[in-house]
Amino acid sequence: MSAFFIATATINNPEKVQEYARKAAETFAAHGGEFVVRGKLDAAFVGSADHQVVAVVRFPSKEALNAWYKSPEYQAIIPLRTEAADMRIVTYSVMA
């Protein structure tokens, strides 16, 4: 069963967001993670949106996603994430 995280963010520092995105991608690739979607908000058809950008990343399993998040490599860049953007990250498991 694949697992995904969806990250939504409001950018505080564009340069740091670029650095964080590059480093984060390196950390999740080591756990089988890959970008599915990266983009900027265009419109909210229903309700409101409180973010500027979104990223969706797929992992081969929930275990791989959890191992990525808990990895020392990812934990080391959390302070950079905090400086770069106000971010929410939620996870989903999807039947194959």
Query: What residue numbers bound the domain in which 83 lies?
Result: 2-94
% of residues, the chain, pLDDT over 70: 99
Q: Encoding tokens for residue 15?
A: 């340069």
Asked if the model's pLDDT at residue 96 lies above 80, the reply is: no
pLDDT of residue 41: 93
pLDDT band at 1 (very low <50, low <70, confident <90, very high): confident
Give the CATH number of the domain where residue 63 resides.
3.30.70.100
Alpha carbons 54 and 89: distance in angstroms, whole number: 10
The model's pTM: 0.89
pLDDT in tens, 49-95: 999 999 999 999 999 999 999 999 999 999 999 999 999 999 998 87
Question: Given this model, what pLDDT does residue 63 score?
Answer: 96
Amino acid, res. 26? E
The domain tally of the chain equals 1
